[in-house]
């Protein structure tokens, strides 16, 4: 199966480098403006978006937020590829739900390895059990859907891909304490530049969306997080 990637990058030089790095193993569409990217994502389905932050007609961070709000594109993993190398920019990009943040100039071999890693994780996730339940939680993997039963009502959770993957990791290991580093490795991948506080922010956002059932995610001081349910 040939995977399809949308590359949102206005530099012809970097477009050429990306094409050379990823080779013929992937089907790539290139966009030099955000408006062109909006048209592409409205017409086609992509397995991953590689996104520059500084574009001629706007900001990549804002476009990432647009993708997260769109039902059709909210589950598509985004990797930032940008010259913005400050810690604040990296934290912002990852907090928006991006899978990774790669700074320019980059090593083409490393770029391919990191993209392969993200796509492989998503493929493995989609091949696991189609659905499972943990206490009040029900997760449906093919559609990245999660539902919580609260006071007799089933509520669909409006989660970002990162929030979904964090919840998935916790729920697949009920009562097991997962450290922040274990969550980082399981969700973003080994070697990802993610701070502990970024994990905490995603957990906080996840709990707000879960309402009263947020008590299923327990903070274990000094150790990490634990999913607690009556049914395993």
Max Cα distance, the chain (Å): 57
Which domains occur in the chain, in start order?
A: 3-126 (3.40.50.2300), 129-227 (1.10.10.10)
pLDDT the model gives residue 192: 66
CB atoms within 10 A of CB 54: 13
Omega of the bond leading into 5 within 30 degrees of 0 (cis): no
**Per-residue model confidence as pLDDT tens for the chain (232 residues):** 568 899 999 999 999 999 998 877 789 999 999 999 999 999 998 989 999 999 999 999 999 999 988 888 887 889 998 888 888 888 788 778 788 888 899 898 888 888 888 787 766 666 555 678 888 888 887 677 899 887 778 889 988 888 888 999 999 889 999 999 999 888 887 666 778 888 999 999 999 999 888 899 999 999 999 999 764 4
Inter-residue contact 42 to 76 (CB < 8 Å): no
pLDDT of residue 231: 45
What's the pLDDT score for residue 230? 62
Nearest 5°: phi and psi at 95? -70, -25
What is the pLDDT at residue 3? 80
């Amino acid at each position: 199966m040939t995977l399809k990637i949308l590359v949102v990058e206005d530099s012809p030089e970097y477009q050429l480098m990306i094409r050379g790095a990823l080779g013929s193993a992937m089907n790539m569409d290139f966009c030099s403006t955000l408006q062109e990217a909006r048209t592409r994502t409205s017409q086609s389905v992509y397995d991953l978006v590689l996104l520059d932050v500084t574009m001629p007609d706007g900001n990549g961070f804002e476009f990432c937020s647009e993708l997260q709000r769109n039902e059709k594109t909210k589950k598509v993993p985004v990797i930032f590829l940008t010259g913005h190398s400050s810690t604040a920019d990296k934290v912002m990009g990852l907090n928006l739900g991006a899978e990774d943040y790669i700074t320019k100039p980059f090593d083409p071999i490393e770029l391919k390895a990191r993209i392969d890693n993200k796509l492989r994780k998503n493929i493995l996730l989609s091949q696991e059990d189609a659905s499972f339940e943990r206490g009040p939680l029900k997760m449906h993997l093919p559609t990245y859907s999660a539902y919580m039963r609260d006071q007799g009502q089933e509520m669909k959770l409006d989660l970002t891909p990162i929030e979904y993957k964090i919840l998935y990791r916790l729920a697949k290991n009920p009562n097991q304490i997962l450290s922040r580093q274990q969550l980082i490795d399981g969700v973003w991948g080994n070697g990802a530049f993610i701070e502990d506080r970024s994990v905490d922010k995603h957990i906080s956002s996840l709990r707000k969306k879960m309402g009263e059932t947020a008590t299923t995610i327990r903070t274990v001081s000094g150790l990490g997080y634990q999913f607690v349910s009556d049914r395993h």
